[in-house]
Every structure is written in structure tokens, then in C-alpha cells.
Chain A
Amino acid sequence: MTELSRIRNFSIIAHIDHGKSTLADRFIQICGGLSEREMAAQVLDSMDIERERGITIKAQSVTLYYTAQDGIEYKLNMIDTPGHVDFSYEVSRSLYACEGALLVVDAGQGVEAQSVANCYTAIEQGLEVVPVLNKIDLPQAEPERVAQEIEDIIGIDAMEAVRCSAKTGEGVVEVLEDLIRRIPPPTGDTDGPLQALIIDSWFDNYLGVVSLVRITQGTLRKGDKILIKSTGKAWGADSVGIFTPKLKETGILETGEVGFLVAGIKDIHGAPVGDTITHQKSADTPALPGFKKVQPQVYAGLFPVRSDDYDDFRDALEKLTLNDASLFYEPENSDALGFGFRCGFLGMLHMEIIQERLEREYDLDLITTAPTVIYEVVTKQGQTVQVDNPSRLPDVGSIEEMREPIVEANILVPQEHLGNVIALCEEKRGVQKNMLFLTSQVQLTYELPMSEVVLDFFDRIKSASRGFASLDYHFVRFQPANLVRLDVLINGDRIDALALIIHRDQAHYRGRALVEKMKELIPRQMFDIAIQAAIGNQVVSRQTVKALRKNVTAKCYGGDVSRKKKLLQKQKEGKKRMKQLGNVEVPQEAFLAVLKVDK
């Protein structure tokens, strides 16, 4: 058995592009976790979409064996964490499995807001945070300044931070040495009854549910009768082992270790994230504190373009939730779009990824309605109702008060872009709470309506600062606001799937912009199409998509028939991704027009 003193469990906290994956790849290479042939770039990001977008979504882990300069072989469990703000809850989960975290900061760009938030989480959870200054090979690297910034913002000693370049490999061994020296080994009663935390669970087509677990006490062996505390269900441990990052069965996981468990469970709800595993024979072992349940932040309706795809769509959602407990869905019926589902997402990126996976992996054509946050409505009867769908907003006459969710946003921005970022926050109805001038960045704290933040704020703040500003936010409270429902009418028919809840001050402007955008997106057809935005019965703007003048092929002779037939087929294909509302063909993009009006 590996002595506890020779184990190190750690995560890497880093912003996107600060080199986390490259550094992880270097560690794996140095420790011989994979042969050269297997050393595909960025091995930890295994989902296709993760690779394409260069981001990590699910937590992953890898066990490495490293012989340090003291001659001792250490077992390093590296638990990878997602880098995007939508998935910050996964970070905190991963941190539960660790005694320490590497804070990797780009020595050219400096600290970013999300890393700061993750560091605070790590420190709160009692982890040792070890700063690393990466990308020192770049000419614009300023390790001294960035070290000072880490001290100023996060308040940890960074002067001694290792300087490295994951890209060239320089200093990477020193990072490993530093983490062994500074991150404490795990503790725990090796002889006590089994107590293990489920950090993550996912569904594998061949194995069923695979759980990433951290043993806090006792030993887990293959063949053990185990018990899931919250469900009270007993299972046989079919397979136990570590990630290399491929699954490698070892038959045993001991106190302080991180590895996988396969126990014939067919559904991830049978192995809930944050739950505790023990042995059936020691069923009264107390459960670990677990995690806060994650709440969706953004809701949207998803509808199949062809109504006969509904069953396939439901099956696909069921399968996706096998792997993504954060995806929420419930049936929704729209007058305009028929049967579909109201889905809850962690953020816009999460929504895009889910939609992309449904379309790509399950071959569905879907219409996504405008995303919305949850609002609180207090009725005249004194009831408080949560509304995640604008078309389900209670009748105006019965509303006493409407409240919108407010977030606190922390923004780090280089001084030269401060003006732009403040202007953006003001435009988004923000209230400044704090402003702190650091060595070269400014830390801004704003309270903003969540509805203004979740849609395109992240992209807008990036473009307002040439990509340099960074953002982290969290929900703080619901707050009364002057909100209205903006309806969209097509040829006089109110389309429930296009309704929005917005602030009254913006209603006219947004209504105008939305209708103009929709005019661009709806193709000309055989008749004029009137698009109107209205608040109650008051029309705030109107545009007309003029009828197509004609749609007829100029020439068709004897030799043209096959080619002209293909053109007709293509024309019809194009309409497959459109939804018929009355007799108007509306393309998918038009339902998300609201996302495009500010750009």
C-alpha cells in the first residue's frame, strides 16, 4: 500500500488559455502516464465538443507516479477542473477531492477574475494554493508584476512562485517538486469503516455508471458489498481502480486515494454526485457533507422542428441527463411550436453545448426559444411564484410585484479598458459596489440583473477590453423591478415562444431592435409578413417582410430537368430547419433573434 505521506491530491486552477491543459499534458509526459504514441494533445479533454472549443466541461482525473528529487516515488492524483464560468460548480466539487491546488497564471496577462473566485473557494475549503507563473517564454511575460498581483488580489505569498513554460517544458519539474513540498498529504483513518465521496458520475455505454471517488477513510476493494448512503441501495463493486487517464483496474483504493468505481449502477441518479459510499456491513457510517445542489441559471424551450421527432427528442434528453445531472428538463407545450421541453442550463455555453450535442449526436433539428432567467412574481393573493417561461407569466392584473435575480459580478480589467467596461456595466443596469486599483489591473465589483449578464455579457466585456477583462459572478438576491412582457406577433398572431420578460425602460428599444433583427432573419415568402412587438395591447414597433417578387426558374429545357430538380430539393431541404407558424416559415435563428440584437 501507498503510505499516505506519499500521496498528493491536487487540482489545477487556471483561466482558459492560461495553459492548464498543456501543463497537465507535461505532467503526464514526465511521469510516463502515456506512451509517446498515446500522447495525443490535451488528453484530458476527451469529449469532441470540449476539444473543438478548447474547454473542459466534465471533471477528469489522472493518477501519476513521480519519483521526486528526494528519491521517493509519489502518487499524484490530478483532478482536472472546468475552465468556463458556466461550470464553476464543478470546480468546487473537484476541490473536495484535493488537499491543494495549483494556481496557474499567465505571466503575460495576469490574474483573471474566475481564477480568483476559484482560489477563494479552494482557500475556504482549506486547500493549500500553490501559485505557478506560466508562459515565461513569451516576450511579454512579467512574472514579478504578476506575482505582486497575486499577492494583492488573492493574498497568498507568490514571490517564490515557480516560473515555468508548459509549452517548452522549462521549470515543469520544479512545479512538481514544489507541489510535493507544499501540498500536504491526505489524512484519514486507514483502518476505519469505508467512507468515500462521489465527486462525479457519468454514464459509459459499456460499463454503466462510472463514479470518480475520493476515499476519505478505510479501503474499497473489488467485490465489496457497498452502500450508497442517500439511496440506501446496496451494490457489488465490480471494478475499482485509477485513471491513467484511461481506466486501469487496480482492485483496491485506499484512504486518501482518488479513483473510479463501477458497481453495475445503470443510472447516474443511482450514484448521485456528492453522495457518500460505505460498506453494507458498516451502513451506519456517517455521510460526508456533500455539495450544494446546482441550480440552473438559464431556461429555454427546446422544440423539435418536426413534431414526429418528439419521442426521439425525449429519449435523447434522458440519455444526456445520464451524464449531466445539471441539465434540467420538463415537458412544455407551446401554441406555436407544439410539444417540447423547457430546459434549465448552467449558462449560455452549457445551453449551446447541449443543443449542439442533441443535433449532432442524436440527429435532431431543434428550435431553441430565447433564454430567460427565473423571475419571482408576487401575486395580489400574496403568493410568490417562480417563472421560468415568459409565456407563463401570470395575468398582469393579478401581479403585485415582479422581482428579478441580481448577481454580484467581479471583474478584473487592465486600466486602459476600464472606461469601456464601466460603460458596459452601466448600460446593463449595473450598480457599482467597489473599485480597487491594483498594480496594473482594476478590480471592479458590480451588482447587475442576472438577465443582463447571462446572455452576452461575457462576450461583450471581452470585446470591450480587447479580450483582457475577466468576469466571475454569483447570484445574490431577487429584487423588485419594473418588468414587462414583450410579445411578438407574426401576421397578427401572438407567438408564445417569442415572448420575453424585460425591463420597461428597455422595452421600446429592445422591441424595435428585435423586430428589425427578425425582419432580417425571416426570408421573403409569397406574401407580406408583419412582425410586431407589443406590450399588452400596445404595439411598440412593426416591420414588414415584403413578399418575394417571384420564385421561378428562368430556364428549363430537356437537359435541365435533373439539375432543376436538385435545386427544388435543396430549396425544400432549407425549409426543414424552419418552423411553420400559420402559413409563415420561420427559421430557427429567428427564435433566438433576441441574442443577436446587441451585436
Chain B
Amino acid sequence: MLPADTALPPLSLYIHVPWCVRKCPYCDFNSHARQGAIPEQDYLQALLEDLTPDLPLVAGRPIQTVFIGGGTPSLMSPGFYQQLFAALAGSLSFSADCEITLEANPGTVDEARFSGFRAAGINRLSLGIQSFDPEALRTLGRIHDDQAAHRAIEAARQAGFDNFNLDLMHGLPGQTPAAAVADLEAALSWQPPHLSWYQLTLEPNTEFYSRPPALPDDDLLWAIFAAGRERLTSAGFSAYEVSAWSLPGRESRHNLNYWTFGDYLALGAGAHGKLTVAGQTPFRYWKTRQPDAYLQRIGSRTAGREDIESGQLPLEFMMNALRLMQGVPECLFQQRTGLPLDQIGAILADLRTQQLLAPDRLQATPKGQRYLNSLLEAFL
């Protein structure tokens, strides 16, 4: 429990848009293929109804960042976001430099649409490119080809988005280190300030999980990673998190808030939130997943809420904080969890003896970063 006199963590807002043109075989997010028009007005109404009961939990706290994820949020019209933000401004306060990111699928956008998003207040884009290799894009079940990917980035730039992220996967079926580097080259040619370069993993409840494609083996994956790391580093990028790369000062502030164990409001079907209220145990909560059920419910769409018990807090804090290459200062542990650092003193000492943890920060050593999942077991 956080003592009443401790400063509350920064607050973000996550908004989920659950619809997609088609479900990708690797995707385990709450996304649903939708034929026909999306009921934008109904969804807008539902979001606002859903938010109202949660407002007292964050009274007086400004929103520092917003992330609109999916599904495919770029399927919604700019007008939808214009109305949404106009309505949200009436009930929430946004900090002056609020980062507002929208996830966009290259197969769903053009310059006009991007301009519209921008006019609605969105100031950062995250483009789900995944690969520039046409064969890989087909394997991944993407609705766009490599040409569409290039066109989408160009359109985003034309519309004035210079703050954007490109999502790229590696470790794709049949991929070689050279092919992975070629993907990075194609991305770098657009001079993005931020890249999410993450390894394809087979998640439960996906098509790939039940019918797994042949993935590169451990050694090849490492070769791909090493080649990509070298290329990104030479381009001036640094990894500030396991899979997040950026130019200096261009980190995703929204994601940094997750990884520094900040708070976030949840809005939309299947969205998850985490909040700290002074004098209470921090808790997670989540919204009704199914889009139709979300639309049909009345009032709050919260489907569940769970306190993060003090026994779980160190693990959850570390699962996030140690993903950051620089880690976090030791004092952040108590600030975020309300627990004294002494409580995990013995575990930290043991991990430091094993040289998995840096001596005076909550930061994994390079070895600890490589084996983060093994390291984290210590907090279970």
C-alpha cells in the first residue's frame, strides 16, 4: 500500500480498438475481424459510458500519455478521434506535452487520413510494418504488401508526423541474418526516430501456436539478433528496452511509463489498466473483451479487478523495470510499490552475487538482460 503522503505515479491512458480487417496468425491481442462498417458512434458512446465510473479513481491527476492500440485503431475515422478527444477533454485533464500515439496498419491509411488523425490531436504514430519482405508479409498474414508499407510511411511523413515508430519483427520463418538486416535497412531509409524490433514468438491461442511454422533455431536467432543489433547501433540507435530502439531522447514515453511501473487507465474492449490510489493496494482491472458485449453493456464495462498483493508487487515491478537497459534507481521501488527495498534485499544480493544485477541500481547486467526470464524467477 502506498502511504498517503507519497507522490502517486505518472498516469497514462490506454484506449483499445478491437476491430481488424483480418486476424493475423501470430496475434494474441484482443482483435476481431470485422466485415462491414464499424459502429463508430456506438463505440464512442460506450467508451464514454465506460470511463465515467472510473474518473473518481484518478481525480486531479493529469494524463501524461495516451496510446490507442488494437486491433487496428486506424480503421476508425479521424472524425471518431476528434469527437473522442473533445469529449475526454471535458472529464480528464491532459498535460500540455501529452504524447498521443495511434497504432496504424499500412493497409488502412492514406495521407488524408493521417492528416485527419493529426488534426484530431494525435501526435505520434506506430506503424505495424512487421517486414518489408513480400514473402514474409504473406506468411505473417498481413493485409498489406511491401509497397503499401513504404507508401504508408511516406504518407505519414507527408502528413507531418515526424514522431513515429515502425514495428518490425525478426526471427521469421526461413529468415536469414541478411534478410533481417535488409528489413532494418528498408526501415532506416525512412529515418524513423523509433523502432520496435521484436522477435516473433508463438503465443497461445493463435493460429501459429496450433500450427507452428518452422522458426529459426536458437543459434540462428542469435545471429539474426546480433546482426540487427550491430546495424541499428551503427545507425545511432540504442535499445532502451528488450525490443525498443530509438534515437536519443525519442523513446516512447507511454511505454516507459509501463516499464517504470506507472499507472494507466483502461478504456475500450479488453483494455487493461493499473492504478494506485493513495492508502490502497495497487490494482489491475480489465474491460469486457468481446466487442459486441462491450457495445451492449450499460455503464461501466469493467469485467474484473484484482489487487496486486504485496507478495506479487516485487515481481511485477521487476518484470517491467528490468526490461529497461538502464534499469531504474533503487528509490523507485519504494515510490511505486510502497514496500521497503529491504524486503527483497536478500534476493537482490543473491542476484548481484550471480552477476545478473548491477551493483547499485535496479538494472540487469548484460548477462541478466539475456536471461531475464531466468533472473525474474528469483522474485516468484
Contact = CB atoms under 8 A, between A and B. Distances in A.
A524 B29 CA distance: 30
B23 interface: no
Contacts of B118: none
Given A524-B218, A556-B323, A561-B320, A568 B380 contact: yes
Interface string A234-272: 000000000000000000000000000000000000000
B371 interface: yes
A557 B369 CA distance: 17
Contacts of A564: 319
From A557, A572, A575, residue with most partner B Cβ within 10 Å: A557
From A548, A552, A569, residue with most partner B Cβ within 10 Å: A552
A567 B312 CA distance: 15
B14 interface: yes
Contacts of B312: 565
Contacts of B242: 552-554, 556
Contacts of A562: 272, 284
A564 B242 CA distance: 14
B376 interface: yes
B109 to A, nearest CB: 22
A550 interface: yes
B344 to A, nearest CB: 16
A442 B270 CA distance: 71
B377 interface: yes
Interface in A536-592: 548-559, 561-562, 564-565, 567-569, 571-572, 575
A481 interface: no
A553 B242 CA distance: 8
Contacts of A553: 201, 242, 372-373
B176 to A, nearest CB: 16
B271 interface: yes
B373 A561 contact: no
A561 B283 CA distance: 12
B247 interface: no
Contact of A558 (B200, B272, B367, B373): B272
B380 A549 contact: no
A552 B380 contact: no
Interface string B12-28: 00100000000000000
Interface residues of B, number: 39
Interface string B239-269: 0001100000000000100100000100000
Interface in A283-327: none
A134 B219 CA distance: 59
Contact of A565 (B222, B270, B315, B374): B315
A526 interface: yes
A552 B255 contact: no
B316 interface: yes
Contacts of B273: 558
B326 interface: no
B80 interface: no
Contacts of B225: 550
Contacts of B201: 553-555
Specify the main secondary structure of chain A where it touches its partner: loop
Nearest to B264: A558
Contacts of B271: 559
Interface string B157-181: 0000000000000000000000000
From B198, B255, B373, residue with most partner A Cβ within 10 Å: B373
B351 interface: no
B34 interface: no
A205 to B, nearest CB: 37
A555 B371 contact: no
A422 to B, nearest CB: 43
A524 B221 CA distance: 15
B370 A550 contact: yes
A572 B380 contact: yes
Given A548-B218, A549-B222, A552-B242, A557 B373 contact: no
Contact of B377 (A549, A561, A572): A572
Contact of A554 (B243, B274, B319): B243
From A548, A554, A558, A567, residue with most partner B Cβ within 10 Å: A558
B199 interface: yes
B323 A569 contact: no
B319 A549 contact: no
A565 B313 CA distance: 12
Contacts of A567: 373
A551 B372 contact: yes
A552 B258 contact: no
Given A550-B370, A551-B370, A552-B370, A568 B284 contact: no
Contacts of B14: 558-559
A548 to B, nearest CB: 7
Contacts of A550: 222, 225, 370-371
Contacts of B264: 558
Given A559-B272, A561-B284, A562-B284, A549 B255 contact: no
A564 B28 CA distance: 12
A554 B198 contact: yes
B274 A558 contact: yes
A561 B370 contact: no
Contacts of A565: 312, 315-316, 319
B377 A568 contact: yes
Contact of A556 (B286, B320, B370): B320
Contacts of A575: 377
Given A556-B323, A559-B271, A549 B221 contact: yes
A27 B372 CA distance: 65
Interface of B: 14, 29, 198-201, 218-219, 221-222, 225, 242-243, 255, 258, 264, 270-274, 284, 286, 312, 315-316, 319-320, 323, 367, 369-374, 376-377, 380
7 contacts: A549-B218, A552-B372, A554-B199, A559-B271, A565-B315, A568-B376, A569-B380
Interface of A: 524, 526, 548-559, 561-562, 564-565, 567-569, 571-572, 575
For the complex of A and B, list the 10 residue pairs with the smallest distance between their C-beta atoms, beginning with the closest: A559-B272, A549-B222, A552-B372, A550-B370, A554-B198, A554-B199, A551-B373, A558-B258, A551-B371, A549-B218
